[in-house]
Amino acid sequence: MVKLTQILTKRNLPLQLFFIFLIIVPFFFFSDFLDHITFHFSGSIRSNIITDQWIIVMLNILVFLSFLIPLSFRRKVNWKEYSLVTAFFVSLFIEMYGIPLTVFFASRSIIGSGTLPPNIIYEFTFLGVNISMTVAMVYGTVLMVIGTVLIVLAWITLYKNWEPDKIVRKGIYSYSRHPQYFGFILIILGWLIGWPTILTLIFAPILIYIYVRVCRLEEQELSHIKAYKFYKKRVPFFL
């Protein structure tokens, strides 16, 4: 007789294969990704950067910080855990669309100017600002969209099924024990790939570590519940 864990693993297999495909995609576009990273770490990007667009700055900050609110549904939130996340998004969008300090100062000292811009594959206008996207930026955006979908689906599932002292195991939580945190990690990785600067290189690994640590702490808090032990055995940590 096939074990329940084996059945559930097979059920997750299409999703696992999809994410494996996402992981190997950059290797097919290696030169485009390399050009994108090189351009961001050179002084050349200074002439292509968007500045003083404070409406876009505030809109992005509000949207991404709003994702933190649903995280309080599953456990008592220690907002100190998310202070670094807040700092990351605030500083990220100020640098992207406001005052790009690390681009102006740090990047020029690493490589220098004169690097050719990467290929632009898509352009659009947002709030009157022309935004150009490379292959790496599109890839990073895909990661962020997937992460956002995971967070929203998890929030809806928690909102519809949450009860005091009970574990939500339906919907997306039957595929992943921590879909919201996994979604946030994908968003952070998306920003790191799409906007590779000193800022994101420093913040990204720290934030990923924090989210994995929060997942572990949450599981420790629930370890005394028998139902959660069974749930933990049959549902993967992330995917």
pLDDT on residue 203: 85
- The beta-carbon contacts of 167-175 under 8 Å, at least 24 apart in sequence, are 167/222, 167/225, 167/227, 167/228, 167/231, 168/74, 169/231, 169/235, 173/235, 174/235, 175/11, 175/12, 175/15, 175/235, 175/236, 175/239
8 Å CB contact between 171 and 161: yes
Domain of 211, in residue numbers = 4-234
pLDDT of the chain along its 239 residues, tens only? Answer: 445 445 445 778 888 899 999 999 999 999 999 988 887 776 555 445 555 567 777 887 787 777 676 665 555 555 566 677 777 777 777 776 666 666 555 555 454 455 556 788 888 787 777 777 889 999 999 999 999 999 889 888 988 887 767 788 889 999 999 998 999 999 999 989 988 877 788 888 988 988 898 889 888 888 888 888 888 888 999 98
The whole-model pTM stands at 0.81
Whether residue 239 is contained in a domain is answered as no
Whether residue 95 is contained in a domain is answered as yes
Whether residue 175 is contained in a domain is answered as yes
Whether residue 164 is contained in a domain is answered as yes
Whether residue 10 is contained in a domain is answered as yes
Say how many domains are in the chain: 1
Whether residue 198 is contained in a domain is answered as yes
pLDDT on residue 89: 78
Whether residue 23 is contained in a domain is answered as yes
8 Å CB contact between 68 and 148: no
pLDDT on residue 19: 92
8 Å CB contact between 17 and 173: no
Whether residue 26 is contained in a domain is answered as yes
